[in-house]
């Protein structure tokens, strides 16, 4: 059964994310796209929720950080190539969400390695 990486790791590969999504016994997680709306309209990974990095500081705390007494849901963030998602991951980690990772290579790597039906740009 695939597992989420250790919280010592900042990134998770597209292959690991695909494996987690396929295996029904895998831990659940939220998949967050931190690209902008126009990029999200071009292509997206099915089931991802959009929280643009330009609004991350405003939206993420209410949408992703657990309320007092709630358990945290793991979060995997992706962008185009993996840099913005790394910033988003660090933002969430700095606010106490230790179960968050950036998908290395972003949706571009996802398209080339996992799902070629996802358009590249």
Give the span between the Cα atoms of 33 and 8, in whole angstroms.
22
And the tokens for 6?
A: 């250790």
Q: What is the pLDDT of residue 66?
A: 87
What pTM was estimated for this model as a whole? 0.96
- How many distinct structural domains can be found in the chain? 1
Q: Which domain range does residue 92 map to? A: 11-113
Q: Is 120 a domain residue?
A: no
For residue 85, give the DSSP letter.
H
pLDDT at residue number 29: 97
Does some domain include residue 82? yes
Residue 69: which CATH number? 3.40.250.10
Average pLDDT of each block of 10 consecutive residues along the chain (121 residues)? 92 98 93 98 97 96 88 96 98 95 98 97 95
């Amino acid at each position: 059964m695939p597992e989420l990486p250790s919280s010592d790791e900042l990134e998770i590969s597209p292959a690991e994310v695909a494996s987690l999504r396929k295996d029904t016994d895998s831990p659940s997680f939220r998949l967050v796209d931190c690209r902008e709306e126009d990029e999200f309209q071009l292509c997206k990974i099915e089931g991802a929720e959009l929280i643009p990095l330009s609004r991350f500081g405003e939206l993420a705390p209410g949408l992703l950080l657990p309320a007092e007494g709630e358990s945290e849901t793991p979060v995997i963030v992706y962008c185009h190539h993996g840099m913005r998602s790394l910033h988003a991951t660090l933002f969430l980690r700095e606010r106490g969400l230790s179960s968050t990772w950036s998908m290395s290579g972003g949706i571009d790597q996802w398209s080339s390695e996992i799902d070629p039906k996802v358009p590249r740009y």
